[in-house]
Each structure stands twice: as structure tokens, then as C-alpha cells.
Structure 1
Amino acid sequence: MHLRTILAACLFFIAGSAQAATLLRDPDIEHALNRLARPILQAAGLPASLPVLVVEDGRLNAFVIDRNAIFLNSGMVLRTSSAAELQFVIAHEAAHIANGHITRRRLNAEHSANMAKLGVAIGIAAGAGSGNPEAGAGLALGLANSAQRALYGHTRAEESSADQTAIRWMSIAGLDTGGAISLMDVFRGQEHLSSSRMDPYARSHPLSRDRLRRLEALNQSYGKAAVSDADRYWYERAKGKLSAFLREPRWTEARAGDSPTRDIEWMRLAVVKHRRSDWQGAVALIDRALAERPGDAFYTELKGQILLEARQFAAAEAAYRRAADLAPKDALILASLGHAMVVQGGDARLRAALPVLERARALDYRNGKVMRDLGSAYAQLGQPGMAALSVAERHALAGRAKDARIQAERAAGLLPQGSPAWQRAQDVLNATKDEG
């Protein structure tokens, strides 16, 4: 995605009250969710690289903003009870993309005087670099409640269309369509509640008895498939890791033994140890999980996170480097490796970190931590133009247009005119031209 496209989204704001949410960026969880989504995306003819991202919000909801990602609230992941249920949610949101519902709502918004000020800022939350282990890059959804319902609220016709498309794709992919019915049972009765008491999903995805009957008929017509062991494993792994970070450690301890495999149990308990600042105990448990699954890039990455946050920087870098060798195209792992190198400092290590971080930036534009570390590395290496550019892009992704423009002007004055980096500074300036 071109930076100017990203910035165009970032600078399209809402007037009035807004809410901010944080993306929980974790390579293991995202890998698991994208494995669950892969057969659906293949059946849909959508890109296999379409990410499924988790928003830190305990309420039941899932949504799409554009064609570039599917968002699931953490509450949706934690309150589903099977891989099939979560796959139906993913398939349903993918259907809203494929069926053109997002495009139509954007066009309608453009022609509505009441919607003229509606905007979306996708980027990095102000506290993204706070060191919170559960939180990575942020997602600023500058959405007033009424505007959110207007833009993302689906009509019953759209819901019926997305349901039918989702069930068909799941059937083509050989997935259990029964997950749609059991999921809807979670929302049964929501239509009788006041709007303020409804789950967001029920508000934006209208339920009705007719809709439930159609889903049941679709499920019957397409038949029921068995859930694969692989899908069950990755669903339980993602849910187990997410709950271990978000729920009370005592809750996880009491239920870790219910995990379907020993490695997931040990991973969950390792997170408990990590959250209690027992890094040696956490590492010992992750090593037990790795003994069960040798060469697992994501358990290795978690080991790196535990070591990094225990300030065992050299050991953390070694773990992240091993994880990057195992998953060389994972942007979050590369970002963590680059960060472990930057925090140790030294010209040689900083110079080696730059290509790692630039690769992470190229693979995933959403991660503001990468731009923070690039800015730090370039500044320490005496490259103020590149440092200013990195800061400008981070401000732009966060929706801080004036700050982005100030830094972009500085970068443009320091970088060789016409160079790729200079052009990136021009993209920021073009996107922020109305910000004075």
C-alpha cells in the first residue's frame, strides 16, 4: 500500500468525540488467525495476505474499514467456542469486502451532508511505545458512535448477502458451517435490548428471526464438515495466548490444564510467569513448549519478548534472530529483532539494525514502533534527514498531521532532492497540505 494512500486515510478525521482502541499486535496470534482465514480467503478469491487483526476491546464485535484488513475485537475471539465460529465471523466480514458493502457505504457517505465530516484515522495510538507487553501498534478509529453506526451499520439485505456468501465459501473450503448457528446463539435476544446495552456486533449487524432461519436453512443445505485438527489447534493457541495476556493470571493458572496440547498449556503458564516478573520460570516453560515443537518461530519469538522485557538484551536478540531465521517474512518478528538491536546501541549494531527495520516497515506499515526505532537509529548514526522522515511518518500514521508536516519539511530540507526518501517526505507534505 502506497504511503500517500495510508496518509489519505490517516488525515480524514471526525469532528467531535472519538474513541481510540489499541491493536494487539502479536505474531503468534496473527499467524494463527491468518491460518484459520486462509481457506476462506482462497475460496473467496481474496488475497491470502489479507491480515486478520485483533483490537483490544472486550465487547463482541468484528468489522472492516476498507479492503486491507479484517478486525476482530479481543472479546469476539475469547467468547467464541470453536474454530468454526471464528471462521464464520472472518468469512462474514470478508464477504462484506467482496460484496462491495464498504465501497457503497463510502459513496453514500460522500453524498450525505450529515456525513460530510465523517473520517477514519488508521494508525498508531499515542501510547503505542509504552512497553505494554500485550499491546503493539495502535488503531485510532476516530469514530463518534452515531457516525460509526452510519458507516459500518449493515442493512439486513447486506447481512443476508454476507451470510449466504460466507456459508458458501466455508462449504467450498470444507469448513464446518455449523459455527454460524452456534455463534448466532450468543447474540440471540440482543434485538430486545436497548441500544446502549447491545453488543456492538448486534448493533452494526442486525439480527432477526428471519436471518436466523435463513442461516439454519443454509447450514442444512450445505451440510456439516468436521473441524480439522490443525484448525482446532491454531484456534486454541490464539485464544489461549490472548486470554493469558488479558485475563487475570489466576484465571489462566486454573484453566491451563484444559489446553488441548501440552505446548499450549506451557505457553499459557509461561505468560503467567512473565506477567509476574519471573522471567527464568517463563523461559523454562517456553523451552518445554519448544521441546514439543522444535523450530517453532512464534514460541521462539515469545522467548525473545520475555528476555527483552527482563532486560536480558543480548539473549533476547539471539532469540529474535533465531525466530527471524525461522520466519523471515514476519514483519512483527523482524521489528522485534530490530528493536532488540537498537536498545543495545553501538554504531555497528545500529547499522545492522537499519535493514532489518526497513524490511519490517516495508512489510507492515501499521507498526509505529518500527518508525520509532528507525528514528532513534538514524539519529544516533548522524542521519538527521532520515530520522526526521521516520518521525514524520510515525506522526502521520497517528493522525498528528501538524507534527507530521513539521518533521516532513525538516526531512525534505535535509535529504537529497529527488531521492526515494525525499519523495516519501513529499508524500507526507502532500497529505498534510491543509494543516498549515
Structure 2
Amino acid sequence: MKEKVQKFGRFLSGMVMPNIGAFIAWGFITALFIPDGWIPNEKFGELVGPMVTYLLPTLIAYSGGKMIHGTRGGVTGAIAVFGVIVGTEVPMFLGAMIVGPLSGWVMKKVDEALDGKIPAGFEMLINNFSLGIIGLLLALFSLTAIGPMVAWAITALGNGVKVIVNAKLLPLASIIVEPAKVLFLNNAINHGVFGPLGIEQVQEVGKSIFYLIETNPGPGLGVLLACMFFSKGEERQSAPGAIIIHFFGGIHEIYFPYILMQPLLLLAVIGGGAAGVFTFQLLNAGLVGPASPGSILALSAMAPKGGLLPVLIGVAVSAAVSFAIAAAIYKMGHAKSTLEESKQTMDSLKNKPKQHNIDLIIFACDAGMGSSAMGATTLQKKLNKAGITIRVENHSIEEIPLDAKLVITHQSLQARAQERVPQAEVIAIQNFLSAPEYDQLVERFTRKV
């Protein structure tokens, strides 16, 4: 069960991590140029809305579709995600995480159904039209079905938070708030739930704890610090920069991918968030207005006169609790991972075959759609006719799978293909439609059968 959860988390993270640079760019623009930013600029600040509404969800959906079915899946996901973008009022990160992989899967199934049935020379025409039609249908489905479903989920989460608040169990709100934040529903919860409650409380007592629940940077800071000290690889290298953007810039979205990579870290932010809220309650902390963005600088600016220390203590407590839990999770998780990797390496060395069996042949051309598609169709038919069960796929040179063992490409592209996959056997041909190398390959694999 744990392995399935981690695999699911890695899949979600895989949609976000390739686009972390875009999140950083948006984070800097937000932190710098919005009215409450470091150097407010109305013109530059106009970039914030379109980027978070259109660019980031589209990139996530593209990446999700691409993970399932390469570039075709990615493009289909990018088309389909506009259905949820235009159908709701909040940024559709969660919708993109649903629509992207779904679109890639649908496109993959359609391509599998068409595989071997396309007449030679019509590959590009049929591939383009099939993608366009599937993208159209999925965009309509996203607009009418997935968008309303995600909107309902957001409303349900907001109502759940209200129930906890009304029951006077405010620290327990973190059980809903922190996981919802990681699904990029932070703005919906903050402005849709805590904003109105905060306004009402400020009018009554002059300050509100509701402005500190979602905007508290402590839980995310704790996770990023633990990542910096106890993680490894890309996570560890990128954590220091993420800390600056998160804690001082107030862009909490920057730490969400780290949790998606290790879902157990949800326990860290929930624990840190609950500890922070409890501390805020204990010290009677609150803000006089919303802290936007959720930066320690914004929180300090919104603290009432004489009320800054309780706010800082609450943030520090939440960061410490989150750090302690995250550190334990990283130590536990990475130690086990290292052991498993070592065992797998040993097993692979012991059982390493002397020669790789070929079960996939890659055709590659510049675009991955025209000549390579014709060549793939022609060779696949020859292999099928000979009773050889080897799959043939077509890709662009830049999209050749890194684990490819046999690649066929035009002579003019041989060097680029070899550079992309130096370990692979690269066969150079002159004519994708009727190369003599096709029959040679059929004979070669027939001898092995």
C-alpha cells in the first residue's frame, strides 16, 4: 500500500517538477510586482493572473499527458485542460492533474486501436486529425463534467473547514487545509473561506486568527529545511532557493511538489499547521488584514501593534514541528530506498543477460510524424506477417526513449540519434517506405525465433 501511495505521489510530482521553473518565474513576478509586493508595478503585475490561470495549468496538463503517451498525449492534455480552465473561477491545478493524464491515456488507446490499420502515406493526416478530434471531445467533456466535479470538491472542502471552525476545533482545520493546499486549492480556501470569516472577526475584535491559518509559512518552511538537510538529488539542490521564495516571497506553491514526491510529508505540514494554530490561539495572535502573499514579511506588516511576537512564535513553532516530522520521514524513507536500490543493483548484476532481447524498435525523424510514421507502419506489417512480436514506434529525434535498444533513422540524422542514445544500435536508411534494411531485420529476427 505504501509503495502504491509513493508511486502515485511520484506520478503527481512528475506533472509539476518539470515545470518548477515556471512556478519560480510566476512566484518572482507575484512577489515583486503585485500591490503588496516588494516593488509594486501595475503593468508588470498584469502577468500574474494569466500565468496562474492559463500557463501553469496548461503546463501541468501537458506534462501529465506526456507522461502517459509522449508528445501526442501532452498536446491532447493541453487542449483538453482549457475545458476546466474556462469553466471555473479558481486556478485549475487540480483539474489539470486530472485532465492531463486522462487525455494522454485516451489518446494512447486511440493510437493503439489505429495501430497497423493506417494505410502507408496517410499516417500524418490521420494522426493529426485523430489528435484534434480527441482533444476537442475531451475539452468539451472537461468543461461539462470534470470542471463542475472539481468545483464541487472545492466547495466541499470549504464546507468541511467551516464545520471544524464552528465546532471550535480550529487546530484540526489543518487536517483539511494542508492537504488541500498541496492540491493547489490554497487560494480557494484562503479567499473563499478564511477571508470572509477574517473580515467578520476583525470587525468584532480588531484582529483575526483566520488570516494566519492558510497563510502561515511555517509548515512549508519546515518541510523545505528538512529536504535541504536530509533529502538528496534534485530535491536537495533546489530546496534553498525554494525556501527564499516560499518564506520571504510568500509563494507557498513552491513547496507543494516536494510533498507530492513524498506524500507522507503531508503528516509534517498537518502537524506543523495544527501546532501553529494552537500556538496562535494560546497567545491570542491575529492579523488586522489578509497577508497577501503568505510571506513572513506580509504577516509582519499585517500584525497589530504589539502583536508581532505572538505571530512570529506561532510561525516558529509550526516550522519546528513540521521540520521534526519531515526529517524523520526523510531519514526513514531514504534509508529504505537506498537499501532497495542496492538490492536491485546486486540482483541485476547477478542476473544480467549477456545480450539484450529486442522487444521495441524506434523509428525516428525530425518531427516524429511523417517519414518515421510511414517507416514504422511498413516495418510493423512485415514483422506481423512473419509472426514476429516486436512493437514498432515512431518518435522525433529528441523524443527517442533513453532506454531504446534499436533505432532506425535517415542517414542524415544518424549522428543525432547516436548522440541521443549512445548505447543503442542505430540503423541508417535512405528510404523510409521501402528500405532493404526492413527485410534484413525480418530475416534477422526470424533466425532468433
TM-score tier (shorter): under 0.3
Which fold has the larger relative contact order, with Cα–Cα distance below 8 Å and residues 6 or more apart in sequence? 1
Normalising by structure 1, we get a TM-score of: 0.26
More helix by share: 2
